[in-house]
Chains A and B, each alone.
Chain A
């Protein structure tokens, strides 16, 4: 593999590619470093990718695994669930509504457990097996819970999934069904996360995918940028709108484009990055607005529970990326989130969960504010499925109820024959 080390993002100290996630010296987060060489013939690499499996393992050369599952991954659930290769849909009716020229929706609800988390869990689970872990675990706001439980079931590993006790019922049911050990913690996500970190000190055979395997886990998010670039004909888009919870997805999408631009695999400029948060949990958007480079933690209160991380560890890096790329990080209210879900649904036929409502509402806000040049090619990253957060749309429309005859229909609906 081209991955060569773990490197501290704060102080630069390097470590071997082991189960380590925090710098011993300064507590900074560790990130995977690669030994990629700029290829003489990028088209050869592009052809190899195109000939690869229809899932994220087509990008295995850019992921930190010794022996990634091969092309046969679809044929055996014991190799995990095939994530990625989700649709990138040109959304002309949405663009028209917002007065924009070209908007694309990257619909990651098409993953096996209906969110982008299958990308990160695929990589973390594969690396966990390489490193000899026996159990998969996670602290989750919901989507990760679904994904870890499902991947563990496919791989035949035991799993422990920790969630806040007030999580949406759909996400609870969509986790427990896989036969995991589901633990509802009385507290918010930040409490769950703290508990999991303490447990990780005591259970050294447990891979908490987003704690002690975090450097590997986070790399999985880069496959979103690889896919978008490949689907756009090996080009970068001008701008992306991406939800922010911890800030990891946002920063890794930036890293994915940077890596491929540096290797000459794609053309274009590094895209402008716009982050999206809910007003009820917006520590990164607040720090952006106030010009600070660290985030003050908050107690979340928003319907966008999958983004409800009050203490976002990658916040400083998300702020840096938004500023460096001339983007921004904006927040929208719960009402705007509901309107965002509706806007996406009625203009594209894509039903997204509350996080996607946040992202769509921020796109609408940017368009209204005049931040987006009409000639730009914009990608809206939709990370999860609307069926996971049904409460958000309850009561937002009415249905006709009629007797089963044509007169009753005409009278109630007002459409004459």
Chain B
């Protein structure tokens, strides 16, 4: 399944400047894994080395934080949009 992944400015050097890339997979975890295959530096930047995401990385599917869904096991539909953003909040 093809999924669009939008990346923040801070990660675009890992994708040759692309703000939006396409990933493959049935879950958020699989889609991200497919990206690590093509853009290896993303793995180090996003994951905690123990199979999870770093604690200041937020991932959204269709605008919803995956921590309200099933985390990395959250299912994604063909054509879904996944958004990776740094955790920054306060106001």
Contacts and interface: CB of A to CB of B under 8 A. Distances in A.
A311 B65 contact: yes
A57 interface: no
Nearest to A192: B91
A297 B91 contact: no
Interface string A309-327: 1011110100000000000
A404 to B, nearest CB: 48
Interface string A172-201: 000000000000000001110110011001
B68 to A, nearest CB: 7
B53 to A, nearest CB: 9
Interface residues of A, number: 40
Contacts of A197: 8, 85-86, 88
Contacts of A138: 91
Would you call the interface of chain A mostly helix, strand, loop, or mixed? loop
B45 interface: yes
B69 to A, nearest CB: 11
Contacts of B9: 201
A191 B58 CA distance: 12
B88 A214 contact: yes
Nearest to B67: A297
A311 B87 contact: yes
A344 B63 CA distance: 40
Given A197-B8, A201-B8, A296-B67, A27 B87 contact: yes
Contacts of A193: 88-89, 91
Given A201-B8, A296-B67, A27 B89 contact: no
A246 interface: yes
A28 B91 contact: no
B91 A141 contact: yes
Most chain A CB neighbours (cut-off 10 Å) among B86, B87, B88: B88
A22 interface: yes
Interface in B7-64: 8-10, 13, 19, 44-46, 54-58, 60, 63
Interface residues on B, range: 20 to 34
Nearest to A187: B63
Given A22-B56, A311-B65, A210 B90 contact: yes
A313 B57 CA distance: 10
Most chain A CB neighbours (cut-off 10 Å) among B10, B44, B68, B91: B91
B56 A194 contact: no
Contact of B10 (A24, A296, A309, A312): A24
Nearest to B65: A297
B87 A313 contact: yes
B45 A25 contact: yes
A211 interface: yes
Contacts of B89: 139, 189-190, 193, 210, 246, 309, 311-313
10 contacts: A10-B54, A21-B86, A21-B88, A22-B8, A28-B54, A190-B65, A201-B9, A201-B19, A245-B90, A313-B87
Interface of B: 6, 8-10, 13, 19, 44-46, 54-58, 60, 63, 65, 67-68, 83, 85-91
Interface of A: 10, 21-22, 24-29, 138-141, 144, 189-191, 193-194, 197-198, 201, 210-211, 214, 218, 245-248, 294, 296-297, 299, 309, 311-314, 316
Q: What 4 A-B pairs have minimum CB-CB distances, sorted nearest first? A: A246-B90, A22-B86, A144-B91, A27-B56
